[in-house]
Structure 1
Amino acid sequence: MSTTPPTAEQLRDAAGRLVAALGAHDDPEYRLAVLKRLSRRLGEDQYPMFLRLLGVVAESDDHDAKRLLAETVATALRRADLPGGALSSWGATRLPDDVTGLTAGALSGHFFGASPRRMLGPVEYLLVWHLQRTQRTSLGVDTFRTQLARLIDLLNHSPEARQLYPQKLAADAQNELEGAYTRATRTRLAAIAAAWQAGRPPDEVAQSALDAAHADLPPGWVVRDL
């Protein structure tokens, strides 16, 4: 499989095909199936590509396309079935309880275990990618803020998505399930939800995540762009 990054033209073409497929049927369930099929075909490791396709639509001047995509996400929110990507849970990898009597060969493979992964919707994925230690190199501040603002602007094209998504984030902020979100992440989920529900502009909603109680990243972390 080629690892060459897609060109801007290829991204626009793929986003256009996605919108055309969503618009080919009036059934909201069909549209959600199309969106989820795209996410599955790209695979867990390529979920950022799925987010980039959403970003292409968000940056366009096609308000009908934005509304169509946002309404499809609203359907997913109603069903609690968002097309998601997997990020490893923070602090989840552990050493075996007993490391005595092992040969050198026993250190190969999955000796250290594999961190459990959580499926996250688009907004939650961006926040966890930016803030928590996962299998990915951390997402930079500027890229996080820009991509989150674009995504919120896109979702605001559906009144239902604009109502349901911040409600979901507010509920997630109360979820203390071990390994899903750190305390700092839950604080920022709550900040995004509050700003979004208050009707603040997308740029301000994204900035609210950065203005919330600050949690420094561990020293020496490298950040990357989407």
Structure 2
Amino acid sequence: MNETVPTPQALRAAADRLVSALAAHSDPEYRLTVLKRLVRRLGEEQYPLFLRVLGVVAESDDERAQRLLADTFGTALRRMDMPGGALSSWGATRLPESAGPLDASALSGQFFGATPRRLLGPVEYLTVWHLQRTQRGALGAAAFRTSLARMIALLNRSDDARTLYPQKLAADAQNELEGAYTRATRDRLAAIAAAWKAGRSPEEVAQAAVDVGDAEHPRDWVMRDL
């Protein structure tokens, strides 16, 4: 997969345009629409670019911009309408259950072609990207820890996001969604949720996820940074 790496200047300009667009409207619902529109315009394969734009805001000194963005995610969590990215659910498909010989007509197009995908919020996306085999090269451990801590620090600017997001992650960790999360991923989501609920620092929350135990990636996995 060939991806154009944006320059720091381009990322800062994109982050500035996003914050300006959000600040131009006082309606939280409209701000969420703006955020989702950006994700759609980038396309599902460019969700990591969206995460980079969020990272620029998270690393800035502009607390107002951080609160504005975090509050918009709080609105998304209240509505259960998160601006998400798609990762292929490797291993999600399975042979149809049958007591007799397998009929070729039972093999759907999903089995041979379009692997099921599920839209994931920023924290879930980073975790799945790090742990599961997807259409992307796996996210390295150091990049995962850094990106996760930065994302949580940003989301903590909103009371709603800080309260509701770990609740969502805890529920996801208990729900064995078909093909969406492996056991290792659910364990990490549970660890993130518990540490976040306990009020630990973003760095401690990210470390708690890593401390669950490194799942060994197959030798042929391509590791990359965000």
Regarding TM over 0.5, the answer is: yes
Alignment of 1:45-124 (within 5 A): 45-93=45-93, 112-124=112-124
Q: Is the 8 A contact 2:110 2:116 kept in 1?
A: no
Q: 2:99 corresponds to which residue?
A: none
| Corresponding letter in the other structure for 1:125 | Y
How many Å separate the matches in 2 of 1:110 and 1:57?
A: 38
Task: Report the Cα distance in structure 1 between the residues aligned to 2:212 and 2:200, rounded to whole angstroms.
Answer: 15
One-letter code of the match for 1:122? P
Q: Secondary structure at the match of 1:56?
A: helix
Structure 1 unmatched runs, 5+: 100-108
Distance in 1 between residues matched to 2:214 and 2:143, nearest whole Å: 18
SS at match of 1:54: helix
**Percentage of pairs with the same residue:** 74
User: 1:44 is aligned with what amino acid?
Assistant: E
CA RMSD of superposed structures (Å): 1.9
Contact 2:70 2:154 in 1 (8 A): yes
For 2:130, the equivalent position in structure 1 comes to 130
Q: Which residue number in structure 2 is paired with residue 215 of structure 1?
A: 215
1:86-126 residue CA offsets vs partner (Å, 9 max, x unmatched): 01112135689667xxxxxxxxx998322111110000000
Aligned residues: 216
Closer/same/farther in 2, CA of residues 215 and 3 from structure 1, 3 Å limit: closer
**Structure 2: gaps spanning 5 or more residues:** 97-101
Aligned to 1:160: 160
- Determine the C-alpha separation between the residues in 2 that align with 1:132 and 1:111: 18
Shift of 1:6: 1.4
Q: Assess if the C-alpha contact under 8 Å between 1:28 and 1:72 holds in 2.
A: yes
> Which consecutive segments of 4 or more residues in structure 1 shift more than 3 A?
93-99
* Paired residues of 2:88 and 2:116 also in contact (CA < 8 A): yes
What amino acid is the match of 2:90?
A: W
Shift of 1:213: 4.1
Task: Judge which range, 209-218 or 29-38, deviates more.
Answer: 209-218
TM-score w.r.t. length of structure 2: 0.90
Residues 115-138 of structure 1, C-alpha deviations (whole Å, 9 max, x = no match): 111110000000000000111110
The answer for the alignment partner of 1:148 in structure 2 is: 148
Which residue does 1:24 correspond to in 2? 24
